[in-house]
Amino acid sequence: MKVMLQERADVWWASLLHTRFEDGAIEVAWDEFVRLFRAKFIPEHIQDRMEQEFLSLTQVSMTVLEYEARLAELSKYAPHIVTDERRKPKKLVMGLKPSLRTRLVAFYHRTLDEALSAACRQEGEMQQYLEEKKASQKRPAATFQRQDKKKEVYQAPQRPVTTSSAQVPSQHSPGVKKECPHCGKTHGGTKCWMIAGKCLKCGSSDHMIKDCPRLQQGVQRGAPAPAV
């Protein structure tokens, strides 16, 4: 394909020299040759599209050098712009990322090379700053992790908190007395005195509670009878 296009271009140029430039007797300027070549081999709508891409090109995710290379490649489709040397550095600067453009737009750059050099320096300084900032943010996190590990190593194990049986009595605890269904007293696990036929006051088998000497003594002294 490349050979075929080259042969086609050679035939076209030879014919043009013969018919228009009198077989080379008339000197052809380079700009004129480029204009004629594009008119012949590059459709007008393609040229318009490439020119528009040149005018709207911005850096976006490209590096400064990649952006400048693409700008130079498209500039041949906008010769009316790139012929003015003063507009080249302005076009480069205005298409840079905002973080770079704000640092360069206030300065006057006489040539494209001068603007390109300044943009590359700013890009390098910004990249270095971001790398240092990223590294400084990682260091404190690593320090905190080491401190946490030390705490885990030296922290004494906590003993589980248990509830004493004395604080929360269980229904099955032998120390807790239930009310007897026969006599209504709380006498623990001993045999009910009423069932055994004993005095409900002192537990004696010789008399009943109505004849208990202790009960009589309590009444005489006016003191309340102690509960069993």
* H helix intervals, 20-86: 30-41, 44-56, 64-75, 79-82
pLDDT tens digits, 187-196: 666 677 777 7
CA–CA dist 97, 89 (Å, integer):
15
What's the pLDDT score for residue 168? 45
What's the pLDDT score for residue 91? 92
56 in a structural domain: yes
143 in a structural domain: no
List of residues 6+ apart from 200 with CB closer than 8 A: 183, 185, 193, 194, 208, 209, 228
The dihedral of CA 50, 54, 58, 63: what is its sign? positive
Domain final position from 129, 164, 190: 129
Listed range (70-79, 114-123, 195-204) with the worst mean pLDDT: 195-204
Mean pLDDT of the chain: 77
Region 26-53: what's the mean pLDDT?
Answer: 83
Listed range (17-21, 69-73, 84-88) with the worst mean pLDDT: 17-21
Q: Which residue has the higher pLDDT, 23 or 111?
A: 111
Residue pointed to by tokens 């271009």 = 9
Region 207-214: what's the mean pLDDT?
Answer: 78
Helices 87-94/112-154 angle, 10° precision? 20
30 in a structural domain: no
- pTM for the full predicted model: 0.50
2 in a structural domain: no
